[in-house]
Amino acid sequence: MTRQVVAGVGNRFRGDDGVALGIVERLRTLLPPGVEVVTCEQEPTRLLDAWQGAETAVVVDAVSSGSEPGTLHRYDATAAPIPSRVFRSSTHAFGVGETIELARATARLPERVVVFGVEGESFGSGAELSPRVAAAVEPTAEAILVELGLARQTVSGTRSIAPEGHSSTQMPQPLQKS
């Protein structure tokens, strides 16, 4: 059996930066035994230990690319860097993109790494998730289940997208193939 890890990166005390933590908490109730779920509330470099020995890692974080809040972005980081500029690093000293590249440079990157980013709206201190970002939690969890091959078509219509490259869509609309 292959080891799979789903990791949520964020800060629950910085508004939409905590969206990934809500997504992985939802996934804890949906994923079968054997799929590890980890939260990374401090530095994303903790991912290096979290995914050690895993064949597949799915990472979720908030992004700030200028898209509509709640938009889901998907990046395949297996063979190429992800666009670090869209992942908020202001609440982390080291971002998800830099962590992936450090893992790649030190031969600590899992065979397959997919990063989901949920477009944030508000990253204020002490703030809760904005309504449009909160609405993306369930469909993003469903998209991750599809990514891991644990679901096909889901209730909200989320479906798998092309396994390589980047795709994005406004949630809760179905993911578009690219």
Among 44-48, 54-58, 76-80, name the one with the lowest average pLDDT: 44-48
Nearest-5° Cα angle at 136, 36 to 159: 75
Q: What is the pLDDT of residues 1-40, one digit of tens each?
A: 689 999 999 988 998 999 999 999 999 999 998 899 999 8
Give the torsion sign (CA, 44, 6, 10, 79).
positive
Q: What is the pLDDT of residues 140-170, one digit of tens each?
A: 999 999 999 988 644 444 433 333 344 444 4
CA distance 163 to 178: 9
Instruction: Tell me what pLDDT residue 159 has.
Output: 39
Q: Which amino acid is at 76?
A: D
Q: What is the pLDDT of residues 108-147, one digit of tens each?
A: 999 999 999 999 998 888 878 999 999 999 999 999 999 9
Determine contact, residues 15/123, Cβ cutoff 8 Å.
Answer: yes
pLDDT of 49 > 60? The answer is yes
- H or E element, residue 57: strand 56-63
Instruction: Tell me what pLDDT residue 21 has.
Output: 95
Give the torsion sign (CA, 165, 3, 72, 11).
negative
Instruction: Tell me what pLDDT residue 165 has.
Output: 43
Determine contact, residues 171/71, Cβ cutoff 8 Å.
Answer: yes
Options 1.25.40.10, 3.20.20.140, 3.40.50.1450, 3.40.50.300; which CATH number does 4-170 get? 3.40.50.1450
Task: Report domain extents, the chain.
Answer: 4-170
Determine contact, residues 124/14, Cβ cutoff 8 Å.
Answer: yes
Instruction: Tell me what pLDDT residue 79 has.
Output: 87
Peptide bond connecting 172 to the previous residue in cis, omega within 30 degrees of 0: yes
Which pTM was predicted? 0.82
Q: What is the pLDDT of residues 69-122, one digit of tens each?
A: 999 999 999 989 988 777 755 555 678 999 999 999 999 999 999 999 999 998
CA distance 138 to 43: 25
